[in-house]
Structure 1
Amino acid sequence: MKLSARNQLKGVVTNIDVGAVNVEVTVEVSPNVELTSILTKKSCEYLGLAVGKEAVLVIKASNVMVATE
């Protein structure tokens, strides 16, 4: 599969928090670095996501905001 999104981070699923409609999936991309994505339950099931399974996070955004205090 080819994607136009160049920001792809491989990692391992560390947590899946199932809600009424959506699922929050946390992926560890390097030691002590985790990213979380929210997707539908249907998509989570389709992808076969499970804790311990490898996954690729694909990030395509025209804006990335940075803030400081």
Structure 2
Amino acid sequence: MEISARNSLKGTVKQVIHGSVNTEITLELAPGIELVSIITKSSAEKLGLVEGKETYAVIKSSDVILAVD
């Protein structure tokens, strides 16, 4: 994976809550340290984000972007 953003945090998907349009993803970065991101439902499905999947939180400005490889 190559990306221009400098802030990338590796974590594991802890919780997935699907809404009608958006999905809330909770990543566990370390024991007791969590990060929450809201992305489109279609993006969550395309990335195959499910509990237990290793995922990256990519932080660029005020946005948090999720990436998998």
| TM-score normalised by L of structure 1 | 0.85
- Matched with 2:56 is 56
Give aligned-pair identity as a percent.
55
Paired with 2:3 and 2:14, the residues of 1 have a C-alpha distance of 25
What runs of 5+ residues in structure 1 fail to find an aligned partner? 63-69
- Matched with 1:66 is none
* Structure with the largest fraction of strand: 2
Could you tell me which amino acid in structure 2 is paired with residue 13 of structure 1? V
TM-fit CA distance, 1:46: 0.4
| TM-score normalised by L of structure 2 | 0.85
- Matched with 1:14 is 14
Could you tell me which amino acid in structure 2 is paired with residue 48 of structure 1? G
Paired with 2:5 and 2:37, the residues of 1 have a C-alpha distance of 16
What runs of 5+ residues in structure 2 fail to find an aligned partner? 63-69
> Aligned with 1:10: secondary structure?
strand
